[in-house]
């Protein structure tokens, strides 16, 4: 019994005791300081960032300070920190693997910001989604589609795939595809189309409208007539040019044909036999 | 009721409208009807498709036809109206691209004088303080692009008439302004002139005593190979305009010599 008491007294009056006391004091100071710092950061930034970010900063700073003081307390107690650091290293690698996509998005975002293929306010098309760019953030780009839906596109997919910026250049071409009946005169068609383009004030005189004969189609002669317009007038010109072409064709009797099918009887085109049926002789029962 | 003979040979100037009076102007292809009510101005206008009508003459008359019967119609509300309407002609708000009847070449060191006709806008303003109502184009010229590629350049108007080498060949119309343009080729290479870009917003507007609208003489000096030229605009009206008075200042003011892209800008 006495030996045990002596041992305890020796221990209390020894070096080890002081280090334990110091460590405990450090831990308490740590907790108190962490609380103080996090609440003062909260007061400072409460108006400047939203609540989500606020919470992250507050918790982050609290735990950071607590961990720092815990580490120094452990160091006081004489623990070998090397082992702890090793464990922390392995932990970091595991986190790294898990956050692969987020890191990739972050890096892609930085590259996108540097390259600037589009800016806030441009209209872009990614895959099948077309919309106006609302913001270019670290991890993603936010779009507003024309039917007022909010779309979030991760930066990674923007770097990897094709992005079309519709508002990059000031003028835009409209490709009008029209088919005319085989019996029509191509030269006349060309003149009519040029006249329609000339009359329309939204259609740019230069670059000159482009006439391309696409080929002998199944039921019609396929023609592509490409006209240029100021980007803002694109929709107006598109609607007006189709209407004007139709009216011009109608007034000149130029036919835009429906799909045709020609039916032959066997190898010789003998006329089909047709029997005329009188309406009055139909059976009523 | 139709009094079609104008009192002066100019369609611009001040007009006094009594309350509920419909006044109609026919200037070139434009038909304009204005009515002044108590605290309100009503403006209606439309352009006729066939531009052969009202070629060089213009007319103004009182009419029973209301402004709202025309295609474009607008109403302007004021605290009080005095019936005083001022019509001022204005040059185009964009550059005007014009082409010669067939392209011609200017050898190095040579000079050519051509005459360009550009479209005019009507500026309507009311009251003693000249409060502007609207600007109406007498013709709606076609848009066109002038630049080395579809990526860079500027949006301009395409002139509906060709530029001419002689003033006699240019039909004089009261709703178009004439610009004498001198092209000097001081570069080493031959300049093929297929299209010319006239910077209309930088020009002031004058009228001669016979009712024709003019701008001062413009000199384009091509100093180096390429499409760029130094632009110099005279301050005085051209000598072809007799008894000229200034009607308007330029829309955009420039100081000294400016370098502009003036020729060709050909691209496929």
pLDDT tens digits for range A163-183? 999 999 999 999 999 999 999
pLDDT confidence of residue A284: 54
CA distance B44 to B61: 15
A118 CB burial (10 A radius; 0-12, 13-18, 19+): buried
The stretch B42-51 carries a mean pLDDT of 83
With an 8 Å Cβ cutoff, is B104 touching chain A? no
Contact B185, B229 (CB under 8 A): no
What DSSP character marks residue B163? B
CA of A198 vs chain B CAs: smallest distance (Å): 8
B140 CB within 8 Å of a chain A CB: yes
Residue A53 tokens read as 């970010």
- Would you call the peptide bond into B163 cis, given omega within 30 degrees of 0 as the criterion? no
Distinct helix (H) and strand (E) counts, chain B: 0, 22
Tokens of B40: 């309100």
Least-confidence region, from A76-90, B41-55, B201-215:
B41-55
The count of C-alpha atoms lying within 13 angstroms of the C-alpha of B166, restricted to the half-sphere facing its C-beta, is: 2
Rounded to whole angstroms, the Cα distance separating B94 from B157 reads 7
Would you call A233 and B143 a contact, using CB atoms and an 8 Å cutoff?
yes
Q: Find the closest chain B residue to A199 by CA distance.
A: B142
Token pair recorded at residue B174: 């009261």
* Spatial distance between the Cα atoms of A115 and A256, rounded to a whole number of angstroms: 47
User: Mind listing the pLDDT tens digit for each residue in B145-159?
Assistant: 998 888 888 999 998
β-pairing, B84-91 with B111-126? antiparallel
The pLDDT > 70 percentage for chain B reads: 93
The residue length of chain A stands at 285
Shortest CA distance from A173: residue in chain B: B150
My answer on whether omega of the bond before A207 falls inside 30° of 0, hence cis, is yes
B140 contacts in A (CB within 8 Å)? 201
A206-232 pLDDT, tens per residue?
A: 899 999 999 998 889 999 999 999 999
Pick from B49, B150, B152, B160 the residue to mutate for testing the A interface (most A CBs within 10 Å): B150
Q: Residue B124 — very low, low, confident or very high, per pLDDT cuts 50/70/90?
A: very high
**Can you read off the two tokens belonging to residue A147?**
């039917």
The interface residues of chain B toward chain A in range 199-218, judged by CB-CB distance below 8 A, are none
Beta-bridge mates of residue A215 = A222
- Rounded distance between C-alpha atoms, residue B192 and residue B202, angstroms: 25
Instruction: State phi, psi for A15 to the nearest 5 degrees.
Output: -65, -40
Cα A265 to Cα A274: distance, rounded to the nearest angstrom: 14
Higher-confidence position of B257 and B38: B38
Query: What is the model's pLDDT at position B268?
Result: 46
* pLDDT at residue number A114: 83
Residue A282 is predicted with a pLDDT of 55
Q: How far apart are CA B10 and CA A36, in angstroms?
A: 84
- Could you tell me which chain B residue has the CA closest to the CA of A172? B150
pLDDT digits (tens, 9 = 90+) for A87-145: 888 988 888 888 888 888 888 888 888 888 998 899 999 999 999 999 888 889 999 99
pLDDT value for B54 = 46
Assess contact for B195 and B267: CB atoms under 8 A. no
> In the predicted model, is pLDDT for residue B208 greater than 80?
yes
**Entry pTM:** 0.74
Mean pLDDT within B33-52: 85
Q: Examine the pLDDT at A262 and tell me if it is beyond 50.
A: yes
| Chain segment A35-76, per-residue pLDDT in tens | 998 888 888 877 776 666 677 778 888 888 998 888 888 888
Query: What mean pLDDT do residues A230-248 have?
Result: 94
Residue A209: closest C-alpha in chain B:
B268
- For residues A173, A175, A176, A179, the Cα torsion angle rounded to the nearest 10 degrees is 160
Instruction: Report yes or no for ipTM above 0.95.
Output: no
Long-range contacts of B108-111 (CB under 8 A, 24+ apart): B108/B185, B108/B186, B108/B187, B108/B188, B108/B189, B108/B190, B109/B185, B109/B186, B110/B185, B111/B182, B111/B183, B111/B184, B111/B185
Beta bridge partners of A249: none
User: Out of A198, A228, A233, whose CB is closest to B145?
Assistant: A228
Nearest 5°: CA angle at A51, between A50 and A56?
Answer: 105
When computed from its CA atoms, the radius of gyration of chain A, rounded to whole angstroms, is: 39
Give the residue with greater pLDDT, A281 vs B236: B236
- Do residue B145 and residue A206 have CB atoms under 8 angstroms apart? yes
pLDDT interval class at B166 (50, 70, 90): confident
How many other β-carbons are positioned within 10 Å of the β-carbon of residue A186? Answer: 12
Side-chain-side CA neighbours of A242 within 13 Å: the count stands at 11
Pairing of strands B176-185, B111-126: antiparallel
Helix, strand and coil in chain A, % to nearest 5: 50, 20, 30
Cα B256 off chain centre by: 23
* Cβ-proximal residues to A222 (8 Å cutoff; 6+ apart), any chain: A177, A178, A179, A213, A214, A215, A216
Q: Tokens 């907790």 belong to which residue? A: A31
Quickly state the pLDDT bin for B3 (edges 50, 70, 90).
very low
Q: Which two tokens stand for residue B247?
A: 């009607």
Contacts of A107 by beta carbon, 8 Å cutoff, 6+ apart? none
């Amino acid at each position: 019994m006495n030996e045990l008491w002596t041992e305890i007294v020796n221990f209390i009056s020894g070096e080890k005791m002081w280090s334990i006391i110091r460590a405990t004091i450090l831990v308490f100071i740590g907790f108190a300081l962490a609380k103080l710092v996090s609440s003062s950061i909260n007061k400072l930034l409460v108006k400047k960032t939203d609540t989500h970010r606020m919470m992250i900063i507050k918790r982050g700073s609290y735990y950071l300070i607590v961990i720092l003081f815990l580490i120094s307390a452990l160091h006081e107690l004489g623990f070998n920190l090397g082992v702890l650091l090793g464990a922390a290293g392995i932990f970091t690698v595991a986190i790294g693997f898990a956050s692969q996509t987020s890191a990739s998005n972050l890096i892609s975002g930085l590259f996108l910001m540097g390259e600037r293929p589009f800016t806030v306010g441009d209209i872009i098309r990614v895959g099948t989604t077309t919309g106006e760019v609302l913001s270019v953030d670290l991890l993603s780009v936010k779009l507003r589609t024309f039917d007022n839906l909010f779309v979030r596109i991760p930066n990674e997919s923007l770097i990897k795939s094709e992005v079309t910026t519709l508002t990059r250049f000031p003028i835009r071409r409209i490709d009008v595809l029209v088919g005319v009946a085989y019996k029509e005169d191509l030269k006349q068609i060309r003149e009519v189309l040029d006249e329609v383009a000339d009359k329309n004030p939204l259609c740019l005189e230069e670059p000159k409208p482009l006439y391309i004969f696409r080929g002998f189609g199944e039921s019609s002669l396929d023609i592509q007539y490409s006209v240029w317009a100021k980007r803002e007038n694109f929709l107006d010109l598109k609607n007006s040019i189709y209407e004007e072409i139709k009216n011009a064709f109608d007034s000149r009797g130029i036919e835009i044909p429906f799909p045709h099918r020609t039916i032959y009887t066997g190898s010789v085109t003998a006329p089909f036999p047709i029997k005329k049926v009188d309406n009055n002789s139909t059976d009523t029962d | 009721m139709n009094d079609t003979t104008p009192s002066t040979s100019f369609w611009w100037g001040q007009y006094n409208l009594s309350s509920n009076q419909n006044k109609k102007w026919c200037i070139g292809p434009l038909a304009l009807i204005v009515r002044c009510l108590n605290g309100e101005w009503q403006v209606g206008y439309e352009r006729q498709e066939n531009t052969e009508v009202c070629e060089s003459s213009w007319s103004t008359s009182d009419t029973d036809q209301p402004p709202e019967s025309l295609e474009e119609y607008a109403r302007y509300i004021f605290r009080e109206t005095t019936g005083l309407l001022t019509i001022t002609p204005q040059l185009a708000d964009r550059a005007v691209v014009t082409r010669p009847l067939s392209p011609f070449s200017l050898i190095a060191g040579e000079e050519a004088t051509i005459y360009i006709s550009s479209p005019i806008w009507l500026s309507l303003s009311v009251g003693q303080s000249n409060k502007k109502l609207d600007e109406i184009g007498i013709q709606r010229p076609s848009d066109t692009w002038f630049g080395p590629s579809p990526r860079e350049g500027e949006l301009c108007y395409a002139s509906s008439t060709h530029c001419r080498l002689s003033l006699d060949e240019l039909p004089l119309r009261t709703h178009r302004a004439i610009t004498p343009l001198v092209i000097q080729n001081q570069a080493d290479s031959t300049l093929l002139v297929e299209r010319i870009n006239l910077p209309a917003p930088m020009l002031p507007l004058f009228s001669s005593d016979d009712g024709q609208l003019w701008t001062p003489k413009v000199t384009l000096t091509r100093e180096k190979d390429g499409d760029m030229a130094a632009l110099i605009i005279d301050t005085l009206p051209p000598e072809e305009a007799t008894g000229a008075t200034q009607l308007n200042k330029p829309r955009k003011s420039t100081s000294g010599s400016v370098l502009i892209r003036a020729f060709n800008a050909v691209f496929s």
